């Protein structure tokens, strides 16, 4: 794997227009750099509200205590609570965030998302969210060319609010050889997110314009209301002109 510290730029951070960022870390080795990225996010975008969620497997490589120090608040563990809750965590997460980053995203997490799994609060929130979602996969050797990965990548590419940021070639910690793929740095993920946000805004604007045009045409083709009209002939003439 690559040293994530080398990805931190000396220049100004990329533009980011989100205001409520949900940052999800999964159980790839690269999640050990999540505290560093949290510090970078808070320093680079001080006006952005930040919430962190980690999967159970991520706790093998990074501790909630470390994340709370660098993130400013306790991270949420992506498991259903055994205690009674007054609200649905997946609904709250989906409604709170205006941007979601999954970094790093394991093969397992990405596959579950592509298949429509909804077995944890964060996964169900992502299935229901309509905001921009960026995944930065971290993959073992051979995974990126496997038929399973290719199928999942195609499925996610069909989702209008999801972008999968291509990972970087890296070194396998197990074999000591090249072949693993490491998550792209946030300095690349954020520009990809902003491109996605712009596409969504354009698509939503086009859709809204189309709805308004259709509504206008529907109103234009409605026959005039002749209730109370004294000149019935004139009203009938207007109705005939409307149908024409």
Phi, psi of 84 (to 5 degrees): -60, 140
CA distance 171 to 101: 24
Separation between Cα atoms, residue 197 and residue 181, nearest integer Å: 26
Instruction: Compute the radius of gyration of the chain from its Cα atoms.
Output: 24
Question: With pLDDT > 90 as the criterion, what percentage of the chain qualifies?
Answer: 71
pLDDT in tens, 120-174: 999 999 999 999 999 999 999 999 999 999 999 999 999 999 999 999 999 998 8
Reported as a single tens digit per residue, the pLDDT across 169-221 is 999 988 999 999 999 999 999 999 999 999 999 998 865 545 555 555 655 55
CA dihedral 27, 24, 167, 140 (to 10 degrees): 10
- The predicted pLDDT at position 84 comes to 72
Cα distance between residue 106 and residue 102, in whole Å:
9
DSSP conformational letter for 44? H
Contact 84, 91 (CB under 8 A): no
pTM greater than the 0.95 cutoff: no
**What is residue 82's predicted lDDT score, i.e. its pLDDT?**
81
Percent of the chain with pLDDT over 70: 80
CB 203 within 8 A of CB 195: no
pLDDT of residue 79: 94
159: exposed, middle or buried (Cβ count in 10 Å: 0-12, 13-18, 19+): middle
In tens, the pLDDT along 95-111 reads 999 999 999 999 999 99
Confidence of residue 235 (pLDDT cuts 50, 70, 90): low
Kindly report the average pLDDT of the chain as a whole number: 87
Least Cα distance to 172 among 157, 159, 183, 182 occurs for: 182
pLDDT at position 244, please?
Answer: 47
């Amino acid at each position: 794997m690559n040293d994530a510290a080398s990805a931190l730029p000396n220049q100004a951070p990329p533009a980011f227009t989100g205001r409520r960022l949900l940052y999800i870390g999964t159980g790839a080795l690269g999640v050990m750099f999540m505290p560093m990225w949290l510090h970078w996010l808070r320093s680079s975008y001080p006006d952005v509200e930040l919430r962190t969620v980690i999967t159970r497997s991520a706790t093998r490589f990074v501790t909630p205590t470390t994340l709370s120090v660098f993130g400013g608040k306790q991270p949420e563990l992506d498991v259903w609570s055994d205690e009674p809750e007054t609200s649905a965590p997946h609904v709250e997460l989906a409604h709170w965030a205006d941007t979601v980053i999954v970094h790093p995203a394991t093969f397992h997490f990405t596959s579950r998302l592509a298949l429509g799994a909804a077995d944890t609060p964060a996964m169900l929130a992502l299935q229901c969210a309509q905001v921009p979602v960026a995944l930065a996969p971290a993959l073992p050797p051979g995974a990126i060319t496997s038929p399973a990965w290719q199928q999942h990548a195609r499925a996610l590419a069909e989702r209008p609010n999801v972008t999968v940021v291509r990972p970087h070639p890296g070194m396998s910690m197990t074999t000591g050889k090249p072949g693993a793929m490491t998550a792209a740095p946030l300095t690349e993920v954020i520009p990809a997110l902003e491109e996605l946000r712009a596409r969504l805004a354009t698509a939503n604007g086009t859709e809204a314009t189309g709805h308004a045009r259709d509504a206008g045409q529907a109103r234009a083709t409605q026959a005039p209301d002749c209730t109370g009209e004294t000149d019935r002939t004139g009203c009938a003439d207007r109705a005939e002109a409307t149908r024409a």
